[in-house]
Structure 1
């Protein structure tokens, strides 16, 4: 088999089982000799910020001399980004090898259980854990897919659990209320293992603290045991004090959470090494600058909380006209998201060729009326870019799928 065949086979697996539990992933991991237990892990969930936090943690661990795996989703430009070791994507050949390992394990299980199969995300999780054990990683930072308790990554006993934020997203799967979402995300809290909390709304904080008490998990909260400020720089302090290059406010929360989680692992690094690890971290599809003049930014914000944070940042730190190229999934809270935009902000709507991608008719009627719709995202990007003045800003946002498509287009892929 070649790389492309492997990707097509993984992505064409079913996406749901009849029952939403962890029995399938546990069965395949057992057949693979439980690779998830052979590497120390940090488990990261949250409505927003879990990807950024995972990247920061990975870089800190590498700076400490640890061979570090990283599992994140979704990928931005290429599938291989989802599984990394020491900042390097899994190679095409390693992906083929891992696919064969997991496929052989499925074949062996089917001898006793002919109907056994994995959904796409389970296959990816099993492949990642196999790869981290195969590469003899010291640590692996594991980003949750959706939720927590029922997420297919929730088969580990991590050294530290991290919950970055709680907000509304994926309500049809883990909602509908923010309290339901908090209960689901609290499922990664493990017995006698520390928990780091980021910017958690007060109306769900007690849900997480109650679960932590039940599990005898010590809790470290942003704003209490550790603090961060964002002015001309980012300032972090608990028992240590660090200064970092300015990033958006929400990124300062992710930096703070990753630093606290890292400190709980017992590593000690010189101040300059910590600051370098954070400042040098580049997070794909997060406030990613594609052009300086005029300013073009790509950010995969795809829910109310993330879009609100993005708008606050670009309005504060840019001048000139704001232009937005937006493509979203039709199952998102489109009405609420577009209510965040101001009348003088120019919006071009687009879509990628993906079943969940919103078409023109899916967007709120008032947004359809005031916005231009160009179905081909490449044409939409070129149109948006052509109309920029030197001091204007174009923001490509609404989904990681759109961001990834535009980035690949710019790379000629």
Structure 2
């Protein structure tokens, strides 16, 4: 047995390279074959999209559980601990199960290395293999699988799902799957599978045809937001409507409402034992860590992992509508993101730039010159957060955003403070 504690497992995963020289699925397919293809023994729902895929995955997981299904969930990134990436019936994988499953992956790697000494996995492949192996061993009825990046070349794209889901198409990861919106749409359309339905969310009109054409060529029936199902924000509820049903859910931001609509449409295609009451309960009970997460009211502190242009626009539109006093923003981003376009979105907000101790985290010099001049910079995110929090008047708001890594770091910092007090 190679691993005896969870720290060894996590250290091993993050010591692996991020990419292979050749971006294909051959490595993940080989390891899964060595493990007897665990991905084929569980029914899946496959979820991609520039934004909203994490939220949609959480809603789907809760809906499946309400239908009495033993449910796996594979999502990224994590907020509090690595184990969040792999969940069973809404609970993080235990340290013991993580250690046991990682040791099984290691044994499979050792066997493959005997024939091919150069065989190796990258970080995300290892995580995908862990998830599929765990879900198969637990005899899950369903697993909701969120892609890492893109679709067609993503390491999760080794499944034939019961339903595919594409939430949104926007600019993100352009260097990997871009550079244009059409390239991104084509890459994400790669999760559409032959004779399996696909649910499409808020997709820009100019790339919608790419997805619809792919669905048609695969004989995949498409269900499109605005055409086959509707979402409306009413004065006191979110209303979902399709040709047969109307459901009402507790108010959430509009982008969350779209994710709810997509999840409800997808779940209905599975024809499980779910009545109106169960569907409404499942959605209303879902809490998504790090996504429009109100961690304090009066004065309000909200953490949200918005890390690209589309997500940040949606977030700012929402908080500006709620604005009473001053909006303060603590912004930390990864240096491979659209720092220029994102920092140009801020108007009356008072922005403080910061960073976490992480190689990809942007330093002050990575931001555009205008942002460096205009915004304050505090290297230490804990000091920056505490200073802004102490400034807040009753009607003010503090928004912590720009990266799930920053959101996770701040939430863990707050948790430590509560634990110590």
**TM-score bracket for the superposition, by shorter chain length:** over 0.9
**Counterparts of 1:275 and 1:322 in 2: how far apart (Å)?**
33
Deviations 1:189-223 (A, max 9, x none): 00000010000000100100111111000000000
Q: Paired residue for 2:78?
A: 75
Q: Paired residue for 1:308?
A: 313
Quote how far apart the aligned CAs of 1:339 are: 1.2
Q: CA RMSD in A?
A: 0.8
Does 2:360 correspond to 1:352? Answer: no
**Counterparts of 1:272 and 1:323 in 2: how far apart (Å)?**
39
Does 2:346 correspond to 1:341? Answer: yes
Q: Paired residue for 1:331?
A: 336
Pick aligned residue for 1:243 from 241, 245, 248: 248
- 1:362-381 equivalences in 2 (<5 Å): 362-381=366-385
- 1:280-299 equivalences in 2 (<5 Å): 280-299=285-304
Where does structure 1 differ by over 2 angstroms across 4 or more consecutive aligned residues? none
- TM-score (structure 1 length as normaliser): 0.99
Q: Paired residue for 1:111?
A: 114
Q: Paired residue for 2:196?
A: 193
Deviations 1:322-370 (A, max 9, x none): 000000011111111111110x210011000111111111112222212
Q: Paired residue for 2:400?
A: 396
Q: Paired residue for 1:24?
A: 27
**Counterparts of 1:315 and 1:66 in 2: how far apart (Å)?**
40
Q: Paired residue for 1:230?
A: 233
**Counterparts of 1:268 and 1:109 in 2: how far apart (Å)?**
42
Does 2:280 correspond to 1:275? Answer: yes
Does 2:208 correspond to 1:205? Answer: yes
- 1:20-99 equivalences in 2 (<5 Å): 20-99=23-102
Deviations 1:8-39 (A, max 9, x none): 11111111101000000000000000000000
Range with greater deviation from structure 2 (231-240 or 104-113): 231-240
Does 2:187 correspond to 1:184? Answer: yes
Q: Paired residue for 2:170?
A: 167
SS of the aligned residue for 1:223 comes to coil
Quote how far apart the aligned CAs of 1:270 are: 2.1
Deviations 1:50-98 (A, max 9, x none): 0000000000000000000000011111100000000000011111001
Structure 2 residues not aligned, in runs of 5+ = none
Does 2:160 correspond to 1:157? Answer: yes
- TM-score (structure 2 length as normaliser): 0.97
Q: Paired residue for 1:139?
A: 142
**Counterparts of 2:291 and 2:211 in 1: how far apart (Å)?**
27
Quote how far apart the aligned CAs of 1:268 are: 3.8
SS of the aligned residue for 1:196 comes to strand
Pick aligned residue for 1:320 from 298, 305, 325: 325
- 1:261-272 equivalences in 2 (<5 Å): 261-272=266-277
